[in-house]
Structure 1
Amino acid sequence: MLTTGCSMVRQADEAKIAWLDYRPSGLELDVEVFPFADLWRRATPAAIRATYRYTFPMLICVTEGTSTQLVDFEPVACAAGSLLVLRPGQVHSFGSGEGWDGWLILFRAEFLPALAETNSELLPVLGLDRLPNHLSLPAADFAAVTEVIGRMEKDAREDISSTLLHPLLRHQLCGLLLRLSVLHDRQTGAEAVHSRGHKRYAQFRTLVEQNYAAWHQVAAYASALGCTQRSLTRAAAQATGRTAKQVIAARIALEAKRLLAHTDLPIYLVAGSLGFDEATNFSKFFKREAGCTPAEFQQRHE
């Protein structure tokens, strides 16, 4: 299970919410599949409504009802057919937690095959970064996805030795992610997803994730990718509708929000950790990106 009810309450009562670790209950598995309704039996409503930052990936598949969940401070309207993809480090809240049910799939990040373990044909599609935060699937596709999830949940409860159960669940999870990648390609348009510009943008996003605190300029990323700033900006615009500069700024601002809301770091240390020499420059940047000052944002999340 995600964690025990009492530990969720302790974290929810803190002014700044700590990272939430993967703590399975029952079988010591590297992946867990269970209905959201089970969470109500293990935790308090306050703990469920709280905001957490996870150390592990999680998939949320809404099977009935509606809810508005928060992913990195942005509301996401969910209904039957919605699938949320949460990655380590993201900030998430179930919202009220009422009026809906669905499946939760939690797993250790290392449960997915490592680069050295995976056939090269699978590498482009197994990464969670290929998937959006929110997928909305039509009924037929959604039925195929929930069938796989239901099979995983049943197999996890079977009397199977861990030496067989772990690889079985691992292959099923990989199969699920492959299916989601296929469905996402179908919705987006496979030609666009596999275009040269899209691949360049994917490489750019990986570099941004690794270097956003140190590289604030488009030139640094273009140099690392061996392309011009103009071609990189064009690739970003085609993939997201935003310029490369805007993508970099949005990632820095997101990390600033995470640190301001979920740590006790003073603003000047947040600024320094994100590569700003002066806290005043950081405050100007943050207000431009977030529409409020860092101090105001902190106060809203106390």
Structure 2
Amino acid sequence: MGKSSANLTWLGYTPSGRMLDVEIFPFSDIRRRSPPTKVRATHRYDFHMLLLVTAGAPRQIVDFEPVSCSPGSVLVLRPGQVHSFGEEIQWEGWLILFRSDFLPIASVVSDLLPGRMLDRMPDHLVLDERDFRATSEAIVTMAADARADAAPVEVVHALLRHQLCMLILRLDLLSGRQRTAATRHKPALKRFARFQELLEANFAGWHQVGPYTDALGCTQKSLNRATREAAGLSAKNCIARRIALEAKRLLAHTDRPVYLIAEGLGFDEATNFSKFFRANVGQPPAEFRAAFR
């Protein structure tokens, strides 16, 4: 896998000694190969990770927030997110690591692209017993196929790509099933989804609500209605929360000076950034960074 600012090369897993574009392995592999301090460390990824808990009740940390898991929990971790396996590491589960460019980029229906499905999927899914069993079996099959020594690498790549797409399709169906049809088709929630896409692409430059309403072709009132219904926050607070999250990621996982972080996030002065960070996080940037050193 590619290196990120947090450098996950310590995972050191290559199925059957070959470099594949997707890696499938049990969490016990990490415990066996790495000291506990590294297992418990916080990392920022530049690839996707799907994590299925099969035994135990670990508390994962995703973007600095705790997520309580149990057998049947699926975490969907995306490039740029910050994650820790938590303090309790005596649990078991499956990890699937892959880069965005491993997924297909063309489809007759754009909403059926696996990448789009991952984008709209919640960070945490909880599967019932039947779905847990079916998902586990699919991952076990993928892991076994990745170790097929006799097969040419290009064939294994193609097989794993199709299997990964099927797994993402399955998880998308399961996450959709957990939403009612009425909720899924509410105009306000559709608007919030489009707002989130714009926010992810433009948060460093668009700090005010106006550019988003212009791009969406709606009023600030209707956008606020959508964000409050979907996230319980005003559009302005959603923007501030996303900027603050990126600032926390950069402070925790890079050595970039505060003034450069401020500049990269669209602040004209480092002092303005510091005021913003303190107001939204509750402590100065330097104090927050020190907590992760």
Look up the equivalent residue of 1:95 and give its one-letter code: G
The structural deviation recorded for 1:18 is 3.0
State the aligned residue count: 288
Structure 2 residue aligned with 1:119, among 108, 111, 114?
108
Q: Is residue 28 from structure 1 mapped to residue 16 from structure 2 by the alignment?
A: no
With 155-164 and 258-267 compared, the bigger mean Cα shift is at 155-164
CA–CA distance in structure 1, aligned partners of residues 266 and 230 of structure 2:
27
The structural deviation recorded for 1:190 is 3.2
Q: Is residue 63 from structure 1 mapped to residue 51 from structure 2 by the alignment?
A: no
Partner-residue secondary structure (3-state), 1:174:
helix
With 64-73 and 94-103 compared, the bigger mean Cα shift is at 94-103
In the alignment, which residue of structure 2 is the partner of 1:251?
Answer: 242
User: RMSD of the TM alignment (CA)?
Assistant: 2.1
Q: Is this contact kept in 1: 2:59–2:69, CA < 8 A?
A: yes
The structural deviation recorded for 1:79 is 1.1
Query: Structure 2: which 5+ runs fail to align?
Result: none
With 191-200 and 291-300 compared, the bigger mean Cα shift is at 191-200
Look up the equivalent residue of 1:20 and give its one-letter code: L
Q: Is residue 135 from structure 1 mapped to residue 110 from structure 2 by the alignment?
A: no
Q: Is residue 283 from structure 1 mapped to residue 271 from structure 2 by the alignment?
A: no
Structure 2 residue aligned with 1:222, among 189, 213, 228?
213
CA–CA distance in structure 1, aligned partners of residues 204 and 12 of structure 2:
30
With 248-257 and 275-284 compared, the bigger mean Cα shift is at 275-284
CA–CA distance in structure 2, aligned partners of residues 236 and 79 of structure 1:
30
The structural deviation recorded for 1:189 is 1.9
The structural deviation recorded for 1:125 is 5.9
Per the alignment, do residues 257 and 70 of structure 1 end up closer, same or farther by CA in structure 2, a change over 3 Å counting? same
The structural deviation recorded for 1:267 is 1.8
The structural deviation recorded for 1:124 is 6.0
Per the alignment, do residues 171 and 194 of structure 1 end up closer, same or farther by CA in structure 2, a change over 3 Å counting? farther
Q: Is this contact kept in 2: 1:126–1:174, CA < 8 A?
A: no
Q: Is this contact kept in 2: 1:51–1:92, CA < 8 A?
A: yes
Q: Report the TM-score, using the length of structure 2 for normalisation.
A: 0.92
Q: Is residue 201 from structure 1 mapped to residue 192 from structure 2 by the alignment?
A: yes
Look up the equivalent residue of 1:84 and give its one-letter code: L
Look up the equivalent residue of 2:137 and give its one-letter code: E
Per the alignment, do residues 226 and 122 of structure 1 end up closer, same or farther by CA in structure 2, a change over 3 Å counting? closer
The structural deviation recorded for 1:71 is 0.7
Look up the equivalent residue of 1:136 and give its one-letter code: V
The structural deviation recorded for 1:122 is 4.9
CA–CA distance in structure 1, aligned partners of residues 185 and 104 of structure 2:
22
The structural deviation recorded for 1:230 is 1.4
Q: Report the TM-score, using the length of structure 1 for normalisation.
A: 0.89
Structure 2 residue aligned with 1:293, among 278, 284, 290?
284
Per the alignment, do residues 227 and 23 of structure 1 end up closer, same or farther by CA in structure 2, a change over 3 Å counting? farther
Query: Structure 1: which 5+ runs fail to align?
Result: 12-16
Look up the equivalent residue of 2:219 and give its one-letter code: T
The structural deviation recorded for 1:191 is 2.9
The structural deviation recorded for 1:85 is 0.7
For residues 89-168 of structure 1, the aligned pairs below 5 Å read 89-114=80-105, 117-120=106-109, 122-123=111-112, 126-127=115-116, 128-158=118-148, 159-168=150-159
With 234-243 and 202-211 compared, the bigger mean Cα shift is at 234-243
Look up the equivalent residue of 1:259 and give its one-letter code: L
The structural deviation recorded for 1:195 is 2.9
Q: Is this contact kept in 1: 2:142–2:160, CA < 8 A?
A: yes
Q: Give a deviation string over 1:6-50, Cα, whole Å, max 9, x none.
A: x9xxx9xxxxx6343697522221111111111122222111111
Look up the equivalent residue of 1:163 and give its one-letter code: E
Q: Is this contact kept in 2: 1:20–1:55, CA < 8 A?
A: no
Q: Is this contact kept in 2: 1:30–1:107, CA < 8 A?
A: yes
Q: Is this contact kept in 1: 2:103–2:114, CA < 8 A?
A: no
Look up the equivalent residue of 1:250 and give its one-letter code: R
